[in-house]
Amino acid sequence: MKGIVYKSTGSWYSVKAENGTFYDCRIKGKFRIGGIKSTNPVAVGDHVDFDIEKKGDETVGVIKHIDERENYIIRKSVNLSKQTHIIAANIDVAFLLITLNNPPTFTTFIDRFLVTAEAYHIKAVLLFNKIDTYNEDELLEIKFLAALYRKIGYECIGISAVTGKNIDKVKAIMKEKVTMFSGHSGVGKSTLINAIEPDLDLRTSKISEQHLQGQHTTTFAEMFDLSFGGQIIDTPGIKGFGVVEMDKEELGDYFPEFFERKENCKFNNCLHLEEPQCAVKEALENEEIAWSRYKSYLQILEGEEDHFRKDIYNE
């Protein structure tokens, strides 16, 4: 049978078969996918083949095959084992919720999210939430940010999870897609999900209520069906993406506005730092590239990786 993994506990997987029935499945034998050593070979969102085995009165599914993943997001354990944990796979759209204040979302955080989404090959959409609370100056700032990110190819929507403004646009993007929501604690993820699908009881909301952030418990993702078609992946305790390991030369490729200019740099391995005839620096001087983006680029390039990881996972 063919199915999709909706839930993982690390040893058991809840798989929804094509006929709509959920089966408890386990794995037999070894899986090696894409050369990654992982603590959990099967991830939420995986498309799998499984067999049904009868054990007395019980029916147990055994996963035999995992389809190649379109993409996946990982988390590296903070301890010395440096084990990789695949959080979820086959994500169509990752939304980042952004607020100017309460809490502030800095452009460096947005840019790190976008770099990681590019590296993971996941479409990212920026949602500027709490639009109902901003004064004129703040609305101008949102306009400025949205224009900045739209120019480089990212869809941006101003929304209010409370008044419902533009929630229909978010739903239209989610329809028939696998989506997930990221953002700092307090940006309104649970309020938004509740506005989109009132009957969903995601752990994300419970976690923000109970203030469980910062606890280093292993959190597993879980997938839920949406009444209007599509699925949402709940990733409690994770406000963004994991770190993607990459070469310094690769980083610029994940800034679309740098990447499109790279061929005009004198050196094909240009890091856009002090090299002569750098098309990126030139565009920066001409204000065609935003300084905030370049600043984020430098920060990531300097690679305080532990700091980065902390930034992503802890509040």
Q: Name which of 90, 108, 99 is nearest 126 in CA terms.
A: 99
Q: Tell whether residue 132 is a contact of ligand GDP (CB under 6 A).
A: yes
In the chain, alpha helices (H):
107-120, 136-151, 167-174, 189-196, 203-210, 248-251, 256-259, 279-285, 291-302, 305-313
Q: Which residues contact 78 (CB under 8 A, 6 or more apart)?
A: 216, 309
CA distance 285 to 294: 11
Q: Which of 14, 105, 160, 182 binds ligand GDP (CB under 6 A)?
A: 160
One symbol per residue from 109 to 128: x for binding ligand GDP (CB under 6 A), - otherwise; what is it?
A: --------------------
Instruction: Please identify, using beta-carbon distances, which residue of 49 and 260 lies nearer to Zn ion.
Output: 260
Instruction: Please identify, using beta-carbon distances, which residue of 66 and 196 lies nearer to ligand GDP.
Output: 196
Q: Which residues pair with 47 in a beta bridge?
A: 4
Min dist. Cβ of residue 183 to ligand GDP (A):
6
Q: Which of 179, 208, 231, 296 binds ligand GDP (CB under 6 A)?
A: 208
Q: Name which of 114, 74, 89 is nearest 245 in CA terms.
A: 74
Instruction: Please identify, using beta-carbon distances, which residue of 186 and 256 lies nearer to ligand GDP.
Output: 186
Measure CA of the first residue to CA of the last residue in the chain; give whole Å: 41
Q: Tell whether residue 188 is a contact of ligand GDP (CB under 6 A).
A: yes
Q: Which of 69, 189, 261, 281 binds ligand GDP (CB under 6 A)?
A: 189
Instruction: Please identify, using beta-carbon distances, which residue of 72 and 241 lies nearer to ligand GDP.
Output: 241
Contact 8, 54 (CB under 8 A): no
One symbol per residue from 259 to 278: x for binding Zn ion (CB under 5 A), - otherwise; what is it?
A: ------x----x-x-----x
Q: Tell whether residue 130 is a contact of ligand GDP (CB under 6 A).
A: yes
Residues lying near ligand GDP in the complex (CB under 6 A): 129-130, 132-133, 160-162, 183, 185-191, 208
